[in-house]
Structure 1
Amino acid sequence: MSRRQYVLLYLVSLLFWLLLSTLQKTPGYMDAAYYTLMGRQIAAGQGGIEPFIWTYLANPAQLPNLSFTYWMPLTSVIAALGMILFHSQSFFAARFFFILLAALIPVLTVLIAEHFTHEHIYLVSSAFLAVFSGFFAVYFTLPDSFVLYCVLGALYFLLLLSLFSQSAQPKIIGRVLALGIVAGLMHLTRADGILWLLGVFLALWMLRQTRPIGQSLLFAGMALVAYAAVLSPWFIRNLLVFHWVFPPGSNLSLFFTGYNDLFAYPSEKLTLAHWLSAGAAKLILDRLQALLSNLGTWVGIAGLVIWAPFAGYGLWLQRKQKIIQFYLLMLGLLAFLMSLVFPYAGVHGGFFHSLSAFQCLLWAMIPLGFAAAITRIAHWRRWKPERSLRLLGSTFLVLTALLSAGFFASKTFGGKFDAQYVEFAGLGNFLRAHGVSSDQQFMVNDSPGFTLSTGYSSIQMTSGSLSDALSAMKRYQIHYLIVASDHTPEFDDCYTSLCQDPSLSYWGQFEKSKIYQVTLP
C-alpha cells in the first residue's frame, strides 16, 4: 500500500471507531471501570491510592488502598493522558487515546500482511478483518488493556519480522533494543507481559545459527537493559512502597481453587494446603476444562469461528517461516500459563485479553489461508478458482461484518452495556437524597464501578462466608452493604429475603439492590 492509502485506511478506521464509541456511554464492566477511575486518580495527582478495594490479595491495610497491587498501571496512565489533554474527567476523555490506538490496528495488520504478500485484495481483506474485529469490537475503544496489547503486539511482530530478515548488525541492535522497550510496555500493560521479554530471548535463540553465541548473549543483555529501563520506575515505586519489586500477594493466585478466590478474605487462607485440599481430581479437571475453554477462545474469538480453519491453514502454509514458529511457540506458552498455572484467570477473560497481542498477525494470515484453501477446493470440485474466491470471499467478509455487528448489538443495544453503571449512578443520587454523606463507605459487588459512578468509597464483596465478609467490613470501617442480583453466594439470604445477622439492619432498596446499614462493635 502507498502512504496515502495507509493514511486513508487510518482515517476510515478512526471514523468507524468514533461512531461505534458513541454507543457506549460508560465503562460497562469492572476492568474498564477500574482503569477509568485510576486514570482520574492519576490525572488528579493521586495515582498512588485507590478509593476502593476490589481484591484482598495484597492484604490492604486500610481504605483508601495503595494502587495497582494486582493490575498494571499503563492502561490507566493512557486514560489519564486523555483527561489531562481535555481538562476533563469525562468518559470520552478517558477513552480518547484508546480510540486513536484502535484506528491503528488495521494499519498495523496490513503492514504485517505485506511481509507475506503484496496482493492488494489480500491486504484489503486483512484490513477489513481488523476493522470488523468480531468480539474485540466491543472492547477496543474502552479503557482496558485490549487495544494497548493489540497495538504493542503488532509492533512486536513487525520488529521480529525485521529482525528475522535483517543481516546488518547496526540495524539488528536497534531492533533488539526496540523489542526490549515494547516488551517492557507490554509488561506495564499486563502482568503476563513478562512473557514477551522471554519472547525476545526465544527469538534470539531461533537466530542462533546466524551469529556467534557471544553476540546473541550480548543482544539478549541489551534487550534486558531496554526492558528494565521501561520497568524501572514501576519497580522503584514498588520497592519504596512494598519493599519488593512486586506487590505483596502476587503469588497467591497460584493457590486458587476457583475464580472467586480472587475476592477471598482474609487472603492468608490462600496457601498450598488450601490448594491441595481441593483434591487432585478437581485440580486436574479444572485445568483440562481451562485448556479446552482457551482453545475454544482461539477458535471462537481469534478465529471468529468461520475463519478459524483458514487461519490454521494459513499458519500451516507459512510454518517454515520463523515468525510463524515464534507465534505458535508463544501461543503455546500463553495457553500453558493460562490453562495449567492460572486456569481460573485464563477462562475468566485472561486468555482473551492476552490473545489480543497475537491478533494482527492472525488477521494477516487468514486471507492467505482462505485463498489457498478455496483454490485447492475449487480445483478438486472443478470450480473456477477466481470466481470462487470472489464469491466466497465476499460472502465470508459480509458474514464477518454481520457477526461483528450482531455481537456488538447484543452487548450494547437496549442499554445493556451501560445498565449497571446507570443504575449505580441512580443509586448514588438516591443515597445522597436520603442523607448519606460522602464519607460513608460501602461493601458492594464491582467496587471500582460503584465508586466511579457514585463517588463513595467501597470495598469488594468477599467470597467465602458471611463471617469473613463481616470481618472485612469491621476492618475497613464499612457503613453500608449493598446486595444486588450479582452478589456472591454467601449473601443469597440477604437478597432473596433479609439478612438475619444482627450486625446488618435493612435500610432500604433501590431498584433491585437491597441496602443494609452495618453496625459492628
Structure 2
Amino acid sequence: MLCAFANQDVSMLLSRIAPVYRRDVPRVALFALLIGASAAALIDHPGYTDAFYYYNAAQRMANGLGMTDANIWTYIGAPAGLPIPSHLYWQPLSSIIAFGGLSLFGIHFGAAQIAFLPLYALIAVLSYALGALLGKSRRVAWLAALLTIFSGYYFPYWFTTSTIAPFGAFGALSLLSMGIGRKRRAWAWFILSGACAALAHLTRSDGLLLLIVMLIVALWRTPLRSGVPMALAGALAYTALMAPWWLRTLALTGTPLPVGGLETAFMRSYDEIANYPPQISLSHFLDWGLENILESRLRALGINLMRFVGEQGMIVLVPLMLLSAWRKRMEPILSGFLLYAPLLFGLMTLVFALPGARGGLFHSGAALLPFWAALGAVGLQDVLIEAAQQRRWRLSQAKIVFGGALAAWAISLSLMVFANKRADWNHSGAFYQALSLPSEAIAMINDPPALYYFTGIMSVVLPNAPPSSISDLAARYGVTHVVLDRNHTKPMETLWRRQDVPFFLDHLYYDGKVRIYRVRTQGASREVN
C-alpha cells in the first residue's frame, strides 16, 4: 500500500515538470518488473545466510508456527531451547514481505521472490524521478533508471529474500521525501519520510540513522514555525509504525530495541558474533590495545572504500557521481542524501567496523543507489556539455554514444555478477543434503539457516569457543550432532583435526571437507518443528 502511495507521489511530482515524465513512470516500473521477474526465475534458493534466515521465518509463519526460529545463528540474546522467538537480533520486515508472497502464491521460494519485485520497481522509479529532477532531461532520467535496474554487484540481491530491496526502496524514498519536504517547507512530505524511515528500520537496525538524518534535515537552518512541524510530523509517523514492534520486543526481551546491536561495535573479529557465552564488552575491546583498534579501522576503511567504488559506483561511475554531488551540494532535494551517505560510511567504518566491512555498508548502502545513479547520469551530461563546447563534438551524438556505453557497462557487469552468484546460490544445497543427518537431529553447524532451509533440521551455530562448550550447548539446546567444515572458528581447530576430542563426542564421518561428531548426552527438550 505504501509502495503504491509512494509511486503516486513521485508521479504527481514528475507530472508538474512535464506530462511525458508521468507517462514514463509506469514504463520504467514495467521494465523493471520484467527484468526482475526474469532474473528471479533463474534463482532457485535464497543463497546466503541472511536470505535463508528471512525466508525460513516467513515459511514458519505461513505454516502457522508464528514468528519463531528453528535455528540459532548467534547466541546473543538467545533463550534456551528450540524453537525460539524469531527476529530478536535481526529486524522482521523482510520476513513479513516474504510471508505476504507465501500467503498469496504458495509456500515456495519463488512465491517469496514475487513479493520483493514491486520494491525493485519502486527503486527504479525513484532513480528515474531523481534523474528527471536533477538533470531536467528525459534521457538522463532513463539512464539513471537503467543504472539502478542494472546495478552491478547489487543486481542479484534484489531478487532474494534479503534486506537489500526493502531497505533500498524505503530508505531511498525516505531520503527523497525529506529533501522535497525541506525544499517546499511541507510537513506532509515528512510524514512519508518518517513512515519510510520506520519501514527501513523494521528492515535493518541501522535504519535508525534515517530518523536522525530526517530530524536534522527538518530543523537545520530552518525557521522554527516550519521546522518543528516537519520534524514532529516525521517523528510521529515513524513512531506510529515502530511502536507495535517495540512492544513485541519489549515483551520478549525487556527492552524495545533488538538485543546485542551495539555490542558489535566492540568486536575484535567477526567470529565473535558466535561467542559462547555471548560476551562482547567495551572493556574486552579496549584491552585489545590502541594499535589493534586503529589497524582494524584502517582495514575497514580500505575495504569500504573498495566497496564504495565497486558496489555503489560500479567503478566507472565514481568520478561522474562525485563531481555531480559536489556541484549539486546546495540542492535541497539532496540534503538528506548528502548527510546520510557520509554518516553511514563513517558509522560502518569507525564504529561498526567489522560488520560494516563484512556487509553492513553494502546492505544499508542500497538506499543510496538511486541517488548515485542519478548523479552519475547528470555528471555524464555535464561533462559531455563541457567537452562538446571545447572539442566541437555533436552533443546529441555524444550523449547517445557515451550514455549507451555506460548503460552497456552496467548491464555487462550486472549479468556477470548475476551469473556467478546464481551458480553459487543454486548449488548451495548439495553440501547440506549430503550430510544425511537424521531428521530428528539437532545439529551444530556453521550456517544453521541454510541447513534448516534444505533439510528442515533444527540447528545452532558452531560457537567461537573451545570444544568443551559443546557440552553446555548440548544441554541447553539438545544438540545431537556437530558438523565442521574448513571454515570453522579458531577455537574449533583441534576438533577439526580430531585432536583432544572431548569425551562426550563420538567421531562419525570425515571426507576432507566435512567432519561429523555425535554428542553422547543431550538435555534440552525439543518441540516439533
Q: Which residue of 2 aligns with 1:397?
A: 407
SS of corresponding position for 1:417? helix
Q: Which residue of 2 aligns with 1:444?
A: 445
Q: Which residue of 2 aligns with 1:85?
A: 104
Tell me the alpha carbon deviations over residues 221-240 of structure 1, each in whole angstroms, 9 at most, x when there is no partner.
33222111101111111221
- How far off is 1:11 after superposition? 1.8
Q: Which residue of 2 aligns with 1:503?
A: 504
Q: Which residue of 2 aligns with 1:333?
A: 343
What is the distance in 1 between the residues matched to 2:374 and 2:467? 51
SS of corresponding position for 2:515? strand
- Mapped contact 1:482–1:514 kept (Cα < 8 A): yes
> Quick one: which of 87, 90, 94 aligns to 2:112?
94
What is the distance in 1 between the residues matched to 2:207 and 2:246? 15
Report the more deviating stretch, 494-503 or 114-123.
494-503
- How far off is 1:146 after superposition? 0.4
Task: Write the mapping of 1:82-161 to structure 2, written as runs, cut at 5 A.
Answer: 82-86=101-105, 88-161=106-179
Q: Which residue of 1 aligns with 2:65?
A: 46
Change (3 A) 1:128 1:215: closer
> Quick one: which of 176, 188, 199 aligns to 1:174?
188
SS of corresponding position for 1:70? coil
How many residues of Structure 1 are paired with residues of Structure 2 in the alignment?
Answer: 503
Tell me the alpha carbon deviations over residues 281-321 of structure 1, each in whole angstroms, 9 at most, x when there is no partner.
11111112212322221211110001111011111121121
What is the distance in 1 between the residues matched to 2:498 and 2:387? 62
SS of corresponding position for 1:508? strand
What is the distance in 2 between the residues matched to 1:388 and 1:129? 18
Q: Which amino acid aligns with 2:260?
A: G
What is the distance in 2 between the residues matched to 1:57 and 1:6? 44
- How far off is 1:447 after superposition? 0.5
What is the distance in 1 between the residues matched to 2:332 and 2:471? 56
Task: Write the mapping of 1:205-220 to structure 2, written as runs, cut at 5 A.
Answer: 205-206=219-220, 208=222, 211=223, 213-220=224-231
- Mapped contact 1:374–1:389 kept (Cα < 8 A): yes
- How far off is 1:488 after superposition? 2.3
> Quick one: which of 242, 246, 256 aligns to 2:257?
246
- Mapped contact 1:447–1:458 kept (Cα < 8 A): yes
Report the more deviating stretch, 97-106 or 125-134.
97-106
SS of corresponding position for 1:116? helix
SS of corresponding position for 1:267? coil
What is the distance in 2 between the residues matched to 1:240 and 1:500? 41
Report the more deviating stretch, 183-192 or 462-471.
462-471
- How far off is 1:141 after superposition? 1.1
Change (3 A) 1:173 1:329: closer
- How far off is 1:91 after superposition? 0.5
Q: Is structure 2 residue 342 aligned with structure 1 residue 293? A: no
Q: Which amino acid aligns with 2:479?
A: I
- How far off is 1:378 after superposition? 4.5
Change (3 A) 1:222 1:3: closer
Change (3 A) 1:408 1:48: closer
Q: Which residue of 1 aligns with 2:24?
A: 5
SS of corresponding position for 2:518? strand
Mark the runs of 5 or more structure 2 residues left unpaired by the alignment.
1-19, 523-529
- Mapped contact 1:58–1:250 kept (Cα < 8 A): no
What is the distance in 1 between the residues matched to 2:344 and 2:86? 26
> Quick one: which of 53, 65, 70 aligns to 2:84?
65
What is the distance in 2 between the residues matched to 1:39 and 1:155? 25
- Mapped contact 2:187–2:229 kept (Cα < 8 A): no
Q: Which residue of 1 aligns with 2:327?
A: 317
- Mapped contact 1:57–1:250 kept (Cα < 8 A): no
- How far off is 1:470 after superposition? 4.0
What is the distance in 2 between the residues matched to 1:72 and 1:224? 20
- Mapped contact 1:59–1:249 kept (Cα < 8 A): no
SS of corresponding position for 1:465? coil
What percentage of residue pairs aligned between the two structures are identical?
Answer: 29
> Quick one: which of 157, 172, 181 aligns to 1:163?
181
- How far off is 1:395 after superposition? 1.9
What is the distance in 1 between the residues matched to 2:138 and 2:299? 41
What is the distance in 2 between the residues matched to 1:277 and 1:464? 19
Change (3 A) 1:219 1:372: closer
Q: Which residue of 1 aligns with 2:356?
A: 346
What is the distance in 2 between the residues matched to 1:514 and 1:93? 35
Report the more deviating stretch, 116-125 or 64-73.
116-125
Q: Which residue of 2 aligns with 1:458?
A: 459
- How far off is 1:216 after superposition? 2.3
- How far off is 1:385 after superposition? 4.0
What is the distance in 1 between the residues matched to 2:450 and 2:233? 41
Change (3 A) 1:282 1:470: farther
SS of corresponding position for 2:193? helix
What is the distance in 2 between the residues matched to 1:112 and 1:379? 26
Q: Is structure 2 residue 236 aligned with structure 1 residue 236? A: no
Q: Is structure 2 residue 365 aligned with structure 1 residue 355? A: yes
Change (3 A) 1:284 1:459: same
For normalisation by structure 1, the TM-score amounts to 0.91
For normalisation by structure 2, the TM-score amounts to 0.90
Q: Give the root-mean-square deviation of aligned CA atoms.
A: 2.1
Report the more deviating stretch, 494-503 or 115-124.
494-503
> Quick one: which of 22, 25, 32 aligns to 2:41?
22
Change (3 A) 1:282 1:381: farther
- Mapped contact 1:138–1:408 kept (Cα < 8 A): yes
